[in-house]
Structure 1
Amino acid sequence: MRFRLLLSLPLLALAACKVGPDYQRPHSAMADDWLEPASTAPVSADWWRQFGDPQLTALVERALASSPDIRQAKARIAEARAMREAAQGGQMPLVTMTRDTSFNRISENGQFPVSKIPGFDPEFPLIDSGFDASWEVDTWGRASREVERARAMEQVAEWARRDAVVSLTAEVARTYVDFRLAQEQLATARTEQDAAAKLAELADMRARAGEGSRLEAEQATAQREASSAALAQAEADVAAAAYRLAALVGTPPEQLVPDLLASSGPVPTAPDSIASGIRSDLLERRPDIRRAEMELAAATAGIGVAKADLYPRFTLQGSIGLQAQSLDDLVTGESLRYLAGGFFRWPLFNFGRVRAQIRAADAKADGAAASYEAAIVKALSESEGAANRFAASARSGTNAASSLEREDRAFTLARLLFDKGETNRLQLEQARLRLAQSQRQDAQARAGKAGAAIALYKALGGAWQGEGEGK
């Protein structure tokens, strides 16, 4: 007993060893301050509520609950979690129950002369029942590294789901903005088409009366036809945006599109300012960065798994049970049988396969490290660029609103003068057409600002934080 205990001590000591590097997050040199003017207040998690549009909020929440993309991401998490649990199970002993019943005959002309043994019957039944156990000692930390890798891959799947949440919420919001913009453009196109038709009619009448040129009449007719084409395109744009929303939400078109087409509303109003948070927090907040980091952690653990194959693998095994030729004898003490021992395997000659696998694992980790650095650079560039575009869109929106205000005053004045008989119908319809064009530009500017805000929220990694870390 003491001898066996002494033999087990070296194995227990070796079990504490783990080959391969331990993962440490790479240092990233990044400035603390944003290049673009930004507020360092916390980033809004449910940022779509900042637009103050109940239907947008409802669509985003519906998409998060039923989108196939999110369900797929959740299924990958469940798969990765099961793989991690399987890896953890590999650290524990394997115990199996056995039961074997057979009828046997030993050759009388074989190696053992059983026919010459008095009273020995070469034909006999045999019943065996018991338990077998085996346990590979984690001598070099192979099983531990396998668990580390599986745990990291589980986190990869989780961060991939959160990245899908960020992308989905942004895409739903962007498409909803497109839908409302298309509706406004459709209303404007109808106004333009009506004004263009009246202008064409007036120009033709003036040409026939000799008060205008035929060139002006032809140009007005061409403008009317172009307005009709724009109207048809606007109607198609509304329907197309509604169908895209149905696809993003994960709902059959017949369950969503009719209600959307029956609804009306302006382009969602973007907030005047957006909090960007602390710049270095992007490393924690952006799901694509965290996913790349966990892929690096998994690749680092894979180096240890590969290096463990350089060394012998020790396995302890045992078996205990009952063996007899009849059921009556099976439960007696004389039927007890057991086995205890162990073995090791050591790939001495593998023609460089193990070392090639180690080099491959090292290269995979180097690639993962490069991907992690690229994700950080991409996140910083996208965030700064989105902040710049949001600021520019705000200025553009101010100019478009000012232009619309002037055109609205001009049309009001033109209508007043027309009512007084001081101007003709042609001048009134021209003022109406200019107002419609200004309304189109204003709607585009508001949609541009809303789109820039959505892009900034996405670049900052907003959306998943409200779920909590445990999901």
Structure 2
Amino acid sequence: MVLALPLAACVHAPATEPHRAPVTPPAAFAGIDGAAPEQAVPFDHWWTLWGDPALDAQVERTLAANQDIRIAMARVRAARAMAAVAESALYPTIAANGAVWGTVANGTIDGSLGQLLAASPEGASGTAGGGHVVALGAAWEPDVFGGRHADRDAARAAALGTQDMAAGVRLMVVADVVENWQQAAGLARRLILLDRSLSAADTLIMYARARMAAGQSDAATVAKVEAARAGIAAQRGPLVELIAIRQRRLAVLAGDPPEKPVAVPAESGLTLPAVPTGELPSTVLARRPDVRATAAAVAARAARLKSLKRDLLPRFNVLIGGADGHVTLAGIPGYGGQAGLIGLQASVPLFTAGRLHARIVGGDADLDAALAMQDRTVLAALEDVEAATSLRHGADQSRAQRERAGVESNRRLVATDALFRAGRKTLGDVLEARLDALSAADAVEQAQIAQGSATVQLYRALGGGWDGAGTVSPAPAKP
């Protein structure tokens, strides 16, 4: 131990590369109003903002049964167990041992011991002797230079990172449920509109054929109407299959086979949340699971590098032990007693063929890679928020324009119907105006589905929801 410290002075850690400063986030987002929200909503129940109890129940059922979440939580338990293992190295290890035995002489033991055992009275019956030993020992490595504490810190950081990754999995699963649910509901509403369009097209075809039979129209007009009807009908099959795909996806997310699709009503009562306000880059980055996970990875790599550098320094061990035992041989007096041990041990690496230095260089490179990964994740998170906000604003504008077009289509339908009743328009004009109005209503539904998808993407980008609640304007009355 006296020689360990001066010898350690001969061992130097290799020089490492300086690490760059982390990315500095901006003070505010370009697409989010910095005003404080009017109402706080828990981030871990963001989906309740959509106002659909059936959706709430589906999310809760999925959280309880989803396999990805189960896998992630199992990894969290494993990481926490490894952190406990690393922390246990800070404390002494105490072990108790015991043994009891007996020996049998059957004439196969050579030499004077065999003759002695064979000549003893017990030897005639085959019993030669026995004994027992009971021992209690302890070993402890005092963490003089903090290497074991660094290992513990690295394991704790790794466990926290695994927990953050599990939170990210939960985030993605919930977002997947909400997006598929709102898309299934929107597609079901589109299917209703399409069937109404087909009914109007059938009526228009019958009217065109009747006019042709009366000599008031021609075959080209009938063919044009039939072609339009065929184009509408061609959309039905893909819509039905898209709805089935969303329903099967919801079943699989909830741990059921796809053969048990989840029924989503067309009028599900969904209320689209408004664009959030009061969100700052600093709060979003502190909330996002992927950013927290990379920060935990940096902490783990830094602690690991510290531990690797401590391997160049001396190690000290304290050994304490005690034993009690007794040994008996037939015909020979028994021997027994107690023994104790206390020892101090020190070691310092002098020559390892560059192994420890290479580990330090590798650990420093791992830390640099973790820092770069953290910077990349921060930049990607900021980009996600801005992109999702732009998508939502674009979807809002698109829906507003299509709603205005729908209002105009409904006005045209009402006016055409009034002119028909006054004898100034034909029934064909009314049916064509009705088809145009139904097409405009379908365009509004498509815009609403796009709004919902953009909202879910914004939720993902913000890392679990936002503060504030609100709704967009409702769609106009359907024709």
TM-score range, shorter chain: 0.7 to 0.9
SS in 2 for 1:130: strand
Name the residue aligned to 2:471.
none
- Contact 1:295-1:368 at 8 Å conserved across structures: yes
Give 1:243 shift. Answer: 1.3
Q: Within 5 A, what are the aligned runs for 1:299-378? A: 299-326=301-328, 335-378=337-380
Q: Which 10-residue stretch deviates more, 310-319 or 35-44?
A: 35-44
Give 1:124 shift. Answer: 6.1
Percent identical:
27
SS in 2 for 1:325: strand
Partners of 1:224 and 1:156 in 2: CA distance: 57
Name the residue aligned to 1:47.
46
SS in 1 for 2:59: helix
Name the residue aligned to 1:29.
24
- Contact 1:200-1:221 at 8 Å conserved across structures: yes
2:84 aligned with 1:96, yes or no?
Answer: no
Deviations 1:319-361 (A, max 9, x none): 201021149xxxx996111122133444433222222111111
Q: Which 10-residue stretch deviates more, 95-104 or 357-366?
A: 95-104
Give 1:225 shift. Answer: 2.0
Name the residue aligned to 1:166.
171
Partners of 1:464 and 1:92 in 2: CA distance: 44
SS in 1 for 2:339: strand
Structure with the higher helix share, 1 or 2:
1
Name the residue aligned to 1:175.
180
Give 1:50 shift. Answer: 2.1
SS in 2 for 1:322: strand
Give 1:461 shift. Answer: 1.3
Name the residue aligned to 1:4.
none
**Structure 2 residue runs without a partner (length 5+):** 117-127, 468-479
Q: 1:406 to 1:275 in 2, by over 3 A?
A: same
Give 1:39 shift. Answer: 3.5
Aligned with 2:254 (options 246, 249, 254): 249
- Contact 1:40-1:278 at 8 Å conserved across structures: no
Name the residue aligned to 1:383.
385
Name the residue aligned to 1:65.
64
Q: 1:411 to 1:89 in 2, by over 3 A?
A: same
SS in 2 for 1:364: helix
Name the residue aligned to 1:85.
84
Name the residue aligned to 1:120.
none
Partners of 2:227 and 2:281 in 1: CA distance: 54
- Contact 2:276-2:466 at 8 Å conserved across structures: no
Partners of 2:102 and 2:178 in 1: CA distance: 73
Aligned with 1:224 (options 223, 229, 246): 229
**Structure 1 residue runs without a partner (length 5+):** 1-6, 115-122, 466-471
Name the residue aligned to 1:398.
400
Aligned with 1:282 (options 284, 309, 325): 284
Partners of 1:441 and 1:96 in 2: CA distance: 75
Partners of 1:25 and 1:318 in 2: CA distance: 47
Deviations 1:402-440 (A, max 9, x none): 111121222222233334443222212111110111011
Q: 1:458 to 1:40 in 2, by over 3 A?
A: farther
Q: 1:430 to 1:266 in 2, by over 3 A?
A: farther
Partners of 1:188 and 1:267 in 2: CA distance: 18
TM-score w.r.t. the length of structure 1 is 0.82
Name the residue aligned to 1:468.
none
Partners of 2:408 and 2:112 in 1: CA distance: 115
Amino acid at match of 1:363: A
SS in 1 for 2:234: helix
Give 1:139 shift. Answer: 3.0
- Contact 2:22-2:375 at 8 Å conserved across structures: no
SS in 2 for 1:97: strand
Partners of 1:464 and 1:397 in 2: CA distance: 23
Q: 1:388 to 1:273 in 2, by over 3 A?
A: same
Aligned with 1:193 (options 185, 194, 198): 198
Amino acid at match of 1:91: L
- Contact 1:189-1:234 at 8 Å conserved across structures: no
Give 1:460 shift. Answer: 1.1
Q: 1:182 to 1:49 in 2, by over 3 A?
A: same
Amino acid at match of 1:34: F
Deviations 1:373-405 (A, max 9, x none): 111111111112222222222222211111111
Partners of 2:60 and 2:129 in 1: CA distance: 72
Q: Which 10-residue stretch deviates more, 87-96 or 202-211?
A: 202-211
Aligned with 1:135 (options 133, 140, 165): 140
Q: 1:169 to 1:40 in 2, by over 3 A?
A: farther
Amino acid at match of 1:32: A
Partners of 1:403 and 1:386 in 2: CA distance: 26
Deviations 1:97-119 (A, max 9, x none): 11123568999699xxx9xxxxx
Partners of 1:267 and 1:388 in 2: CA distance: 26
- Contact 2:140-2:319 at 8 Å conserved across structures: yes
Q: Which 10-residue stretch deviates more, 429-438 or 211-220?
A: 211-220
